[in-house]
Amino acid sequence: MRGLHPCNLGWLSYGALKGDGILIVVNTVGAALQTLYILAYLHYCPRKRVVLLQTATLLGVLLLGYGYFWLLVPNPEARLQQLGLFCSVFTISMYLSPLADLAKVIQTKSTQCLSYPLTIATLLTSASWCLYGFRLRDPYIMVSNFPGIVTSFIRFWLFWKYPQEQDRNYWLLQT
């Protein structure tokens, strides 16, 4: 289950602490959409107990993080730096996660497990955030999104090296 990713709530908190309206709006929308995804998934999931336990565990971890950043780090500047570092680590791990399939792609010489549209979206999103961070001179936003650009180009290279085969049934239906 993908669920509510700490990136949205972390960057939302970072934006609120920094007073950055763009970070607040974008990550509020992202958190709302992910919450709707969780609710829809829970509605249709046959193993509700496992999913509810995972969701409750994630919410507990998020509450612990919230308590740490907002209660145990009283200095706003230190909180901003620690929260920026926390968000950066999660964002970088999110961008690096598709490379877990790298060995499978090379071993099978197939990119069937990779999504070309998602690769394009990742490149555009990470480049936009990287430029936004550069404009603000915010190293946490800029540096954490740079791996998204790099991993997108790695996946583009993989698509070039191991092109996806077209589904024969699709071609038969078009004739």
Span 64-111, pLDDT tens digits: 877 887 788 888 888 889 889 989 998 998 888 878 888 888 888 888
DSSP per-residue string spanning 37-86: HHHHHHHH-S-HHHHHHHHHHHHHHHHHHHHIIIII---HHHHHHHHHHH
pLDDT recorded at residue 163: 85
Nearby residues of 164 by Cβ (< 8 Å), 6 or more positions away: 110, 111, 112, 116
CATH class of the domain at 96-175 = mainly alpha
The residue among 51, 53, 6 whose CA lies nearest residue 30 is 6
DSSP state of 114: S
What is the rounded average pLDDT of the residues 2-26?
Answer: 83
The whole-model pTM stands at: 0.78
pLDDT recorded at residue 159: 92
Span 7-16, pLDDT tens digits: 888 898 899 9
The residue among 138, 132, 123 whose CA lies nearest residue 22 is 132
- Alpha-carbon distance of 11 to 52, in angstroms, equals 25
Span 119-155, pLDDT tens digits: 999 999 999 999 999 999 999 999 999 999 999 999 9
Q: Are 4 and 34 in contact (CB under 8 A)?
A: yes
Q: Is the pLDDT of residue 53 over 70?
A: yes
> One-letter amino acid identity for 110?
S
Q: Domain ranges in the chain?
A: 1-72, 96-175
